[in-house]
């Protein structure tokens, strides 16, 4: 079970227990780490003290000997009256001396170190000793479960000329320190066990006390309804934070009762506003091509044109189609139905698309079709609205384009008809790509942003799909697909 799904009282209880346990584990970990660190420091400093004392003793022996002080006489100097054994007994350490090539010269009585390692020093040790900064090398080893710190340093004469290598094996005896650490951890465990039991009781009663008032508030909030009179909360002996929360809830109840009536009226008013916006947009769509058709007719009218009757008939047909669209919108609005009512007709898609494009006078609009006849079931008026809306958007994207171009093409993809509308306009910015089909979204200073949302709804109603690709500054391509 996730912690976020637990009740507040349970989370408070668990948090306090984990806090105590975490503190206990952290302190024990720090204690053990500190002990190990201090033990290492203790042994290192003790070895340094013993090594310094032995070096001073050796210095005194070399200064008082009657032998010539050189590497060849080291054996004789320290064998004289068992001086090396006396030093080992005084300092309670084994002392071993090697020549500069690593060969054994003399050693004190051996009691715990392996003989096989005393005859010849490893070449790696000689190299590390030679290149060390202070001419001293410490080697840490473990033999039969016991840890050793082996100290290697040079024995020098009065002119600091190296004579031999002093080797001091030091045994790290932690038995006393380990015993003290174990006793300390046992006492600490007893203390923290008592604290853990105490924390369990305190956290249980504290969590219940804290959440008691919150439980009352939660029940009241759960029971709050917009359609009935809600009871205010009355809590005594609560904390300042709880009183603040209760006061906020009671104030909310007063405001809720006042706004309930306003909300109901506002919702009805908003619904009518949305309906009015949608109707206005639907009526605006056919008015634009009607205006364009009249302007085109007025601009291109020539009474002496032999085809004048055919052109008048075509213009009239276009106007009648758009008027029919507005009539269907008005009828649908009066019946509170979908606007406009949809009719399934067997249409020649290239012909209807070409008819929708005829109302535009822009010379840069090009139309191509893979075939002259591609049949599909669609509403004639709806298809014209879809094409008109998309082409109009493409034209508006060309306002700042020097060489505008719009290409409308139709082709087949298996059992689907594809209508592609491409332009080389401003394109759609990345932050707006996901909002293109959202109702009321628009980047234009005019319009309500319902056009593309309605286009998508129309296409999907006929089991089709609409998609687009766009590059900012290079243009946009819309692709419609619906079954043949």
**Neighbour tally for 1: CB within 10 Å:** 6
* Each residue's pLDDT tens digit, 200-250: 888 777 777 766 666 677 677 776 666 566 667 766 666 666 667 777 777
**In this predicted model, which residue has the larger pLDDT, 422 or 108?**
422
- Tokens (6 digits) for 46: 């003790």
Domain co-membership, 271 together with 347: no
Q: How far is CA 125 from CA 27, 75, 147, 193, in A?
A: 40, 22, 18, 50
Q: Which of 22-26, 56-60, 298-302 has the lowest mean pLDDT?
A: 298-302
**401 & 267 share domain:** no
Q: Is residue 467 part of a domain?
A: yes
Q: Is residue 200 part of a domain?
A: no
Residue 276 has a pLDDT of 67
What is the helix (H) or strand (E) element at residue 26, kind and residue range?
helix 8-64
Same-domain check for residues 322 and 372: no
pLDDT (0 to 100) of residue 418: 94
- Distance in angstroms (rounded) separating the CA atoms of residues 352 and 358: 10
| Residue 335 pLDDT | 45
Q: Are residues 19 and 105 in the same domain?
A: yes
Q: Where residue 13 sits, what CATH number does that domain have?
A: 3.30.450.20
Does residue 228 fall inside a structural domain? yes
Are 374 and 480 in a shared domain? yes
Q: Are residue 17 and residue 130 in the same domain, yes or no? A: yes
Least confident of 70-79, 258-267, 304-313, 316-325: 258-267
Could you tell me the residue range of the domain that residue 472 belongs to?
Answer: 342-484
Q: CA-CA distances (angstroms) from residue 332 to 21, 269, 286, 296, 455?
A: 72, 20, 15, 30, 18
Nearest partner of 165 among 117, 96, 83, 115, judged by Cα: 96
Q: Is residue 206 part of a domain?
A: no
* 214 found inside a domain: no
| CA gap 269, 264 in Å, rounded | 9
Residues 460 and 381 in one domain: yes
Q: Which residues of 410-437 are buried (b: 16+ CB within 10 A; e: fewer)?
A: beeeeebbbbebbbbbbbbeeeeeeebe
Q: Phi, psi at residue 342, to the nearest 5°?
A: -90, 135
According to the model, what pLDDT value does residue 417 have?
94
> Considering the chain, what percentage of its residues have pLDDT values greater than 90?
8
193 found inside a domain: no
* Total domain count, the chain: 3
- pLDDT grade, residue 333 (50/70/90)? low
Asked if residue 247 and residue 257 are part of one domain, the reply reads yes
Residue 15 has pLDDT above 90, yes or no: no
Residues 429 and 472 in one domain: yes
- Of 58, 109, 94, 103, which is closest to residue 167 (Cα–Cα)? 94
Do 400 and 328 belong to one domain?
Answer: no
Q: Does a structural domain hold residue 311?
A: yes
pLDDT at 359: 83
> Is there a single domain that holds both residue 129 and residue 99?
yes
> Which CATH number fits the domain that encloses residue 472?
3.30.565.10
pLDDT band (50, 70, 90) for residue 116? very low
Boundary (domain end) residue, out of 279, 314, 341: 341
Q: If you average pLDDT over every residue of the chain, what do you get? A: 78
Place of tokens 């010539």: 68
The whole-number pLDDT of residue 11 equals 75
The pLDDT of residue 467 is above 60: yes
| 184 domain residue, yes or no | no
User: Which of 306, 341, 376 is the last residue in one of the domains?
Assistant: 341
Query: Helix, strand or coil for residue 330?
Result: helix
Predicted pLDDT at 38: 83
% of the chain beyond a pLDDT of 70: 78
Q: What is the mean pLDDT of residues 70-81?
A: 82
For residue 310, pLDDT beyond 90: no
Asked whether residue 445 carries a pLDDT value surpassing 50, the answer given is no
Which residues neighbour 480 within 8 Å (Cβ) at sequence distance 6 or greater?
386, 418, 419, 420, 421, 459, 464, 465, 466
Q: Which of 298, 320, 341 is the last residue of a domain?
A: 341
Which pLDDT tens digit goes with each residue over 121-179? 888 888 888 888 888 888 888 777 777 888 899 988 878 888 888 888 888 777 767 78
| Per-residue model confidence (pLDDT) at position 114 | 43
Q: Are residues 347 and 402 in the same domain?
A: yes
């Amino acid at each position: 079970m996730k912690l976020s799904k637990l009740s507040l009282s349970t989370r408070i209880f668990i948090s306090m227990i984990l806090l105590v346990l975490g503190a206990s584990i952290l302190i024990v970990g720090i204690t053990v780490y500190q002990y190990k660190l201090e033990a290492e420091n203790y042994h290192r400093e003790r070895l340094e003290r013993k090594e310094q004392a032995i070096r001073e003793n050796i210095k005194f022996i070399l200064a008082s000997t009657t032998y010539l002080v050189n590497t060849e006489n080291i054996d004789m100097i320290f064998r004289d009256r068992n001086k090396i054994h006396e030093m080992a007994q005084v300092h309670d350490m084994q002392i071993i001396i090697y020549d500069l090539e690593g060969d054994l010269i003399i050693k004190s009585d051996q009691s715990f170190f392996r003989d096989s390692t005393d005859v010849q020093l490893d070449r790696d040790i000689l190299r590390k000793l030679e290149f060390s900064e202070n001419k001293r090398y410490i080697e840490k080893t473990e033999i039969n479960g016991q840890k050793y710190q082996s100290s290697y340093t040079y024995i020098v004469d009065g002119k600091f000329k190296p004579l031999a290598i002093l080797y001091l094996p030091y045994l790290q005896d932690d038995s006393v320190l380990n015993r003290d650490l174990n006793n300390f951890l046992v006492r600490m465990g007893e203390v923290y066990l008592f604290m853990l039991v105490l924390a369990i009781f305190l956290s249980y009663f504290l969590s219940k006390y804290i959440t008691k008032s919150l439980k009352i508030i939660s029940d009241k909030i759960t029971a709050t309804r917009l359609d009935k009179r809600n009871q205010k909360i009355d809590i005594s002996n609560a904390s300042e934070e709880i009183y603040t929360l209760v006061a906020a809830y009671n104030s909310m109840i007063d405001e809720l009762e006042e706004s309930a009536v306003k909300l109901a009226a506002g919702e009805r008013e908003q619904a009518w506003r949305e309906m009015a916006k949608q109707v206005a947009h639907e009526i605006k769509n056919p008015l634009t091509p009607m205006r364009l058709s009249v302007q085109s007719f007025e601009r291109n009218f020539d009474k002496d044109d032999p085809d004048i009757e055919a052109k008048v008939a075509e213009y009239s047909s276009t106007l009648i189609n758009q008027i029919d669209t507005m009539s269907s919108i008005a009828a649908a609005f009066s019946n509170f139905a979908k606007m406009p009512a949809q009719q399934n007709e067997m249409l020649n898609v290239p012909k209807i698309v070409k008819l929708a494009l005829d109302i535009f006078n822009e010379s840069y609009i090009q139309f191509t079709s893979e075939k002259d006849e591609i049949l599909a079931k669609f509403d004639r008026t709806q298809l014209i609205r879809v094409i008109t809306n998309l082409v109009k958007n493409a034209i508006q994207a060309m306002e700042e384009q020097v060489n505008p171009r719009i290409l409308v093409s139709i082709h087949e993809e298996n059992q689907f008809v594809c209508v592609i509308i491409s332009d080389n306009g401003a394109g759609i910015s990345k932050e707006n790509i996901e909002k293109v089909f959202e109702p009321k979204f628009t980047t234009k200073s005019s319009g309500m942003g319902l056009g593309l949302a309605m286009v998508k709804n129309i296409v999907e109603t006929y089991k089709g799909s609409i998609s687009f690709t766009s590059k900012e500054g290079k243009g946009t391509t819309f692709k419609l697909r619906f079954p043949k």
